[in-house]
A and B are shown apart, each in its own frame.
Chain A
């Protein structure tokens, strides 16, 4: 199956700093990437959908100025949490889908655990 990597796997930062998370599709071209957030004991919550070369589509309630998404190439998308606060502490997971619109499977990265002190 296709492989998606995420970096870093874990990050601890001070309140007010910005954190960048990278999501890479290693062996396929990902025209669409998804960013999820998951709080403890809750299900995945879709934050935004990004298509290569275009602006991300954010879900309702997700601040696009706080969670900056860049999908500059077919293998890389980044999520930057700007001016992070303790309530942003969560498990962030990206997933990627191939170029065919009917591709049914999303391939998940291993996730990034963000802790904001």
Chain B
């Protein structure tokens, strides 16, 4: 079966760095996405990785290792507004998104 695993909840301090991991097992691979979702709102796109390596976009970076079925989202210089759920999703061979359950990130002052 298809499976996406990510931690349920993480806590970090404002100004610090946090890494959210995601491991996956899917039928085929056409890329891995990270989305941010604030409570009561729809997800917003953060990053897309289809090749191995690190993609940096401002304070956010995303890493992919296809051989390990592993990705992480790195958030630097954390701000209170970064408190949200972070969803990892993999696009399978049918171009369908397989979603993880999300990681709730709590930022403390």
Contact = CB atoms under 8 A, between A and B. Distances in A.
A and B interact physically: yes
Given A49-B96, A101-B95, A108 B44 contact: yes
B99 A43 contact: yes
Name, among B30, B45, B50, B97, the residue most crowded by chain A CB atoms within 10 Å (CB to CB): B97
Contacts of B7: none
B106 interface: no
B42 A109 contact: yes
Contact of A43 (B33, B40, B87): B87
B41 A111 contact: yes
Interface string A42-58: 11111001000000000
B74 interface: no
- Judged by DSSP, the binding face of B is loop
Contacts of A43: 87, 99-102
Contacts of A107: 45
B91 interface: yes
Contact of A104 (B40, B48, B87, B101): B48
B14 to A, nearest CB: 23
B43 interface: yes
A14 B84 CA distance: 32
Interface residues of B, number: 20
A109 to B, nearest CB: 6
Given A44-B43, A91-B40, A110-B42, A104 B91 contact: yes
Interface in A80-117: 91, 93, 97, 101-102, 104-111, 113
Interface string A62-94: 000000000000000000000000000001010
B33 to A, nearest CB: 8
Nearest to B30: A104
Interface in A24-41: 34
Interface string B58-96: 000000000000000000000000000001000100011
Contacts of A113: 40
Interface string B18-53: 000000000000110100000011111100101000
Q: Which 4 A-B pairs have the closest CB atoms?
A: A43-B101, A108-B42, A111-B42, A43-B102
